[in-house]
Structure 1
Amino acid sequence: MARRHLPSLRALQAFEAAARLGSFRLAAEELAVTRSAVSHQIRQLEEMLGVSLFRRDRQRADLTEAGQDYYPTLRDAFDQIEAKTRTIKPASDSGELVVQVYVTVALKWLIPRLHDFERRCPDVKLRLSTTSIGWDFERGEVHAAFLLVRHKTPGLHYQPLFPGLLSPVCSPDLLGGTVPLDQPSDLGHHRLIRVLGADEDWATWLEARGLDPMLIEGGPVYDSYLLAQEAAIDGRGIAMTLSPFAEDEIRLGRLVRPFPPPVAHRRGWYFVCEMAERTRPKIRRFEAWLREQIAADPAIQQLLVGAADR
């Protein structure tokens, strides 16, 4: 059998993460390496393939035609490897705790706090799952979840954490640009960035402000809140964010809220697990720790007070 001629796994991981997240910086955060390391691995991959995979103008990570052609194959291959790995080695075999969470929540809020959980619960091997499809409590692929919930499923335990809050955000340059953005009705003159499958976010906010939900039609669509937020940072439009997961970018001056305060979402944030599993020590400990972190987060508490005062 002929020897396989494959790129290095690190190079493929770097490319897949950067393509999925739309950013070398975010890929570096996910892989726990430097941005230059991600760029170096992708450059090596491009040299091996003899094509450019990304356009690097303005430090963006937009895929070239070759990159768009290559990415789906790698994404599907990685998904299949991850899924098969879970079936061969079930997460419930050990002290591992698998928590389902949105990638935006993981990168922008949860991961920076996990060192505290690891210090306090060293016997629990925590693993985050950010896949948006295919996971299942019953198959043991996930033990618990930190999710935005509207309709509850029978047989699951739901612990309310805090309300969902919606806030439009944009780059400071866009706010101070030549096209006015002084009042909510000015949104009709701007591109509204949408998240695939979450049009209700903009519709809810616009209706609460007395505006026509049809304003969202025609704007660019991204498949995650994280990508929508990055697009807003890059000045490509105005994104709707789920508070408080843009707070770091706002604090750093990369994003601003043109129209505070936030509007209540129709969904709320919950800790979710199977009803029969809610008393398992590792699940109970993580739930208690999560609620403690939320109570200690001044950004969440400030947003909640602001929402209550409306």
Structure 2
Amino acid sequence: MARVIPPLNALRAFESAVRNGSLTRAADELSVTQGAISRHVSQLEAWLDLPLLVRLRRGVETTPAGAAYAAAVRDAFDQIEAGTRRAMAKPNDNRLRIKLPPTFAIRWFVPRLARFHAKHRDIDVQITTSHQPVDFARDEADLCIHSGDAPPPGAVSRRLFGETLTPVASPGLLAANGGLGQPGDLERHVLLCSMHRPNDWPSWLSAAGITTVDGNSGLKFENSALAYQAAIDELGVVMAQRAFVEDDLRTGRLVAPLELRVGTPSAYYLAYPQSRAGSPMIRAFERWVSEEAALMLES
């Protein structure tokens, strides 16, 4: 059965006009005249028998039907663009593009990256960071580390390690504020945490049976790496993921004075598309990162 698809030039003109909010800017982007953009959009409206745009003096607005259709067209163009970039990539490309959560990248991955590079000098690692889940159909990523309570759907995945929460602080801060011998002593301290992890302090305090400390109070940072640095700089006590502060505890920059450790349902997973399962670079990275995670769990 033949596909029911409008003229592609009309779709390009419509998508550009909506994205730019202007027929003029769409014309500049596509290197045609404003009149051509207007004709293409009118052609598409006639083809669909739907009004899509409202022409205004200073631009255009979508009708409700136009907004819904524009979202579908934009998604399709995004996928075509991503597929085109993949098709144009050189077969012998030695880049390994990895997408990571920011704190995982800063506190766990980068300190270990030299060991991977020493074993695989022929692989050029390209790192991007984001809190957003990877969409392999659109993102320029060969693999990712995913944080959550389940592996990402539709991908090959391997669990690396779980999360264990424990409060940590600078020795200097504790010396200046009477120490931290029991959970109730947290009343004397400023609590630090990431805005992306609002449940860490309340979960730990609940497990400790502490009701006199507000787990939602204190200083909040864009990511946990900033909160850990704030703790090193003696701004307060941070609720840390143990895996990300091991080096600081070993060197004495931070201490964990309270014994209670609380696990969360979340874990860190390596994930990559099923289509890349046979890639030698993917296999090499999977072996290495799994070994690093196992070493951490044994220590």
Q: Which of the five TM-score ranges fits, normalised by the shorter chain?
A: 0.5 to 0.7
Q: Is the 8 A contact 2:150 2:267 kept in 1?
A: no
1: distance between equivalents of 2:298 and 2:165? 15
2: distance between equivalents of 1:148 and 1:134? 9
2: distance between equivalents of 1:254 and 1:170? 8
Q: Is the 8 A contact 1:101 1:147 kept in 2?
A: yes
Distance 1:204 1:301, change over 3 A: farther
Q: Is the 8 A contact 1:207 1:213 kept in 2?
A: no
Q: What is the CA distance between 1:105 and its match in structure 2?
A: 2.5
1:139 is matched with: 138
One-letter amino acid of the structure 1 residue matched with residue 124 of structure 2: K
Q: Provide, for residues 189-238 of structure 1, a one-character-per-residue CA deviation record: whole Å limited to 9, x for no partner.
A: 32111211211222222222222496222211101111000111111111
Q: Is the 8 A contact 1:203 1:213 kept in 2?
A: no
Residues 1:289 and 2:288 aligned together: yes
1:224 is matched with: 223
Q: Provide, for residues 33-82 of structure 1, a one-character-per-residue CA deviation record: whole Å limited to 9, x for no partner.
A: xxxxxxxxxxxxxxxxxxxxxxxxxxxxxxxxxxxxxxxxxxxxxxxxxx
* Alignment TM-score, normalising by the size of structure 1: 0.62
Distance 1:213 1:229, change over 3 A: farther
Structure 1: segments with no counterpart, 5+ residues: 1-85, 303-310
Distance 1:134 1:267, change over 3 A: closer
2:244 partner SS: coil
2: distance between equivalents of 1:98 and 1:200? 31
Deviates more, 1:262-271 or 1:176-185: 176-185
1:122 is matched with: 121
Structure 2: segments with no counterpart, 5+ residues: 1-80
Distance 1:185 1:153, change over 3 A: same
Q: Is the 8 A contact 2:186 2:213 kept in 1?
A: no
Q: Looking at CA atoms only, which structure, 1 or 2, has the larger radius of gyration?
A: 2
Q: What is the CA distance between 1:269 and its match in structure 2?
A: 1.7
Q: Is the 8 A contact 1:92 1:140 kept in 2?
A: no
Q: Provide, for residues 11-45 of structure 1, a one-character-per-residue CA deviation record: whole Å limited to 9, x for no partner.
A: xxxxxxxxxxxxxxxxxxxxxxxxxxxxxxxxxxx
Equivalences for residues 1-310 of structure 1 within 5 A: 93=90, 94-133=93-132, 136-212=135-211, 215-297=214-296, 300-302=297-299
1:78 is matched with: none
Alignment RMSD (CA, Å): 2.6
1: distance between equivalents of 2:105 and 2:89? 22
User: 4+ runs of 1 displaced by more than 4 Å?
Assistant: 86-93
1: distance between equivalents of 2:291 and 2:212? 37
One-letter amino acid of the structure 1 residue matched with residue 182 of structure 2: Q
One-letter amino acid of the structure 2 residue matched with residue 98 of structure 1: R
Distance 1:212 1:95, change over 3 A: farther
* Alignment TM-score, normalising by the size of structure 2: 0.64
Q: Percent identity?
A: 31
Q: Is the 8 A contact 2:195 2:221 kept in 1?
A: yes
